[in-house]
Each structure stands twice: as structure tokens, then as C-alpha cells.
Amino acid sequence: MLRPTMARKESEVTGSPTEYGTVPAPATVRFERLLPGPIDRVWAYLIEQDKRKQWLAGGEMELKVGGQASLLFKHSEFTEEPAPEKYAEMSQKGFLSRHLITEIDPPRRLAMTWPGEEGHESEIIFELFPEGDKVMLVVTHKRLRDTDEMTNVASGWHAHLAVLETVLEGGRADRFWSHIAVLETEYQRRFAER
């Protein structure tokens, strides 16, 4: 496989170098992150619930095409930053989301459905590319309904991937929700300019 090109680095929004998601096709957002490896370690943070809940969501995954993935989003498991009022209950009690695995090629590719509002279903694809002692993680979220959903998805993945990077480097996320608020504004601006 060919190595993908890196997304543009910018720092005007978060105060530190951050790689913003791109729009490679209509209704699609894509992220690239160069993470500490090896590839099996990063793969484990995608498929093992005890590792995945440190940056995204816990829950069981049936690791086969057609398998179920029940993701329990409980943000209080990876950040102590208080959630905004509209997310407070979800952050503490959690939110269960059900997905279907559509592709799996360990430790290189995992794809699954992603439920949205009003029964709309999109698809998320995780791809891993070895880069020496690092791993390029490419996250592509496709079939998004509209610009509002693209903004929500982009800011969410951006913030979650920042947590993943911090965890893989041995740290703990000191902020998540305040990052989301800033990112939503920035992605609204970026997508409006398209």
C-alpha cells in the first residue's frame, strides 16, 4: 500500500500543532495521525475494549465481517474535564451505540457502520500503515448526511484522536469538551468556505 500524504498542520485554533480533517470527497471527512507504534499496539487500541475506552468508547466487538460492535461512549473514563450540560448525563452514564463490522484485515483495516440521526447510517474506516517505529492511522468517515453532520463528526474525531495520541504517548487527556467546542466552530468555518 502507498503511504497517504499528511494533512496540513495548523495551530491557530488549539494553540498547538494540530492536523485538521480534510474533505477528500463529498460527504466524507478524513484524518491522518502519525502515532507511536508498533502497528499491533495501535491496532489493539482500536479493537480491545479496555484500551479503546481510554480514548473513544468501551464495549465488545465481534471481530469478523458481519460482527456486532456495541460501543459504550462514557467520556468520563478518559477525561476529568466536566462535560457541557447537554452532554453531562451521557458523559457520566454513557451512551450505547450499535455498529456492524463491514471489513476487517488485522492489523491494517477495520470498517464499520456508524448510526446517525433519523436512521441515517454512515461508515467509518480505520487504516494503519507502518512508518518505521511509528504508525500512520488514517480515519475516513463516509456517507455523512449534510454539513452539520460533517461538522459534528469532524470535531468529534479530531478531539478523540488527540486523546488517542496522548494516551499512546503515555499521558492522560486533560481536556476534551473544551477542545470540542473550539473545533466545532473551526470546522463550521472550514466547511462553509468549501
60-108 pLDDT, tens digit per residue, is 999 999 999 999 999 988 988 988 888 877 777 889 999 999 999 999 9
Q: Residue 13's pLDDT is what?
A: 39
Looking at residue 46, which CATH number applies to its domain? 3.30.530.20
Q: What is the DSSP string of 137-193?
A: EEEEEE---SHHHHHHHHHHHHHHHHHHHHHHTT--BS-SHHHHHHHHHHHHHHHHT
- β partners of residue 140: 30, 125
In a domain, residue 13? The reply is: no
Number of domains in the chain: 1
Q: Is residue 115 part of a domain?
A: yes
Within-domain flag for 55: yes
The answer as to whether 16 is a domain residue is: no
Please give the mean pLDDT across all residues of the chain. 89
Q: Which triple of cell numbers denotes residue 125?
A: 474506516
pLDDT beyond 70 at 12: no
In percent, how much of the chain has pLDDT > 90? 73
In this structure, is residue 15 part of a structural domain? no
Instruction: Tell me what pLDDT residue 7 has.
Output: 39
Asked if the structure places residue 1 within a domain, the reply is no
What are 15-58's pLDDT values in tens digits?
Answer: 333 589 999 999 999 999 999 999 999 999 999 999 999 999 99
pLDDT recorded at residue 1? 39
Specify the pLDDT at position 32: 96
Range of the domain at 183: 23-192
Q: Classify residue 8: in a domain, yes or no.
A: no
Per-residue pLDDT at 11 exceeds 60:
no
**Confidence (pLDDT) at 15:** 34
Enumerate the β-bridge partners of residue 31.
139
Sheet containing 121-131: give its strands across: 29-36, 134-142, 121-131, 109-115, 95-105, 68-73
- Which run of H or E residues covers position 108? none
Asked whether the predicted pLDDT for residue 10 surpasses 90, the reply is no
Predicted confidence (pLDDT) per residue in 127-180, tens digit: 999 999 999 999 999 999 999 999 999 999 999 999 999 999 999 888 899 999
